[in-house]
Amino acid sequence: MPHKFDPTNKNLLLSTQRRIDLDPLRVIPLLPIMPHHVVADIGCGPGYFTVPLGKYVYNGRVYALDIEQEMLDTAREEVSVVHLTNVDLILNEETKLPLEKNSLDGAFAAFVAHEADDPEVMLGEILRCLRKGGWLALLEWYKRDMKEGPPKEDRIDQTELRGLAQKIGFCYTSMHNLNSSQYMILMRK
């Protein structure tokens, strides 16, 4: 069973150091996102990317999904501080997204593929929810030994993750080196 992030450590995900290492304002411009898009933040955690995504899609909507109520409660606080009204916070099961088929313009999944019991099922659910031409951003840890992040054996190599997504029907668009520890793969339906 993959290593799951402990929600009691959620403050690490909102830390100043994380903003230095992985600034959402440097990640979002890499996305094919538009202000009118309907986007899912899969595994939103405490809302680290939810708030910037919600600000960016000011004419759209963000569905912030997580399997941990504690994470959603913290995300709700983060969203309310900046008075975003276009974000819906949703508790979901790992194997099923509570969204309609073809309802999303984009999906953002930061550091959740390596935690999924079955990444292929997770990717299949995202594919089901995306409209034709919709985009998917997968952020993950490079598969090598590091002090931070999940254990090396739980990480997904970028070539493996790309192959898995393509196997279920995604088309590869590009890959970005976010920092020395993390990467992002962009795909299209």
Helix or strand run (H / E) with residue 125: helix 119-129
- pLDDT, tens only, 128-163: 999 999 999 999 999 999 988 889 999 999 999 999
Give the pLDDT score at 9. 61
Using 50, 70 and 90 to split pLDDT, how confident is the model at 88? very high
Contact 41, 108 (CB under 8 A): yes
Query: Which bin fits 65, alpha (ψ -120 to 50), beta or left (φ > 0)?
Result: beta
Mean pLDDT of 75-83: 96
Supply φ then ψ for residue 120, to 5 degrees: -65, -40
What is the pTM for the complete model shown?
A: 0.92
Give the pLDDT score at 105. 98
Architecture of the 34-188 domain: 3-Layer(aba) Sandwich (3.40)
CA distance 76 to 169: 33
Give the pLDDT score at 168. 96
What token pair was written down for 148?
């931070």
Mean pLDDT of 158-169: 97
Distances (CA, A) of 102 to 65, 131, 142: 17, 4, 31
Burial 19-48 (b: 16+ CB within 10 A, else e): eeebebeebbeebebeeebbbbbbbbbbbb
Give the pLDDT score at 17. 73
What's the mean pLDDT when you consider all of the chain?
93
**Residue ranges covered by each domain of the chain:** 34-188
Mean pLDDT of 64-74: 95
- pLDDT, tens only, 6-62: 566 666 666 677 777 899 999 999 999 999 999 999 999 999 999 999 999 999 999
Using 50, 70 and 90 to split pLDDT, how confident is the model at 94? confident
Give the pLDDT score at 21. 87
Give the pLDDT score at 29. 97
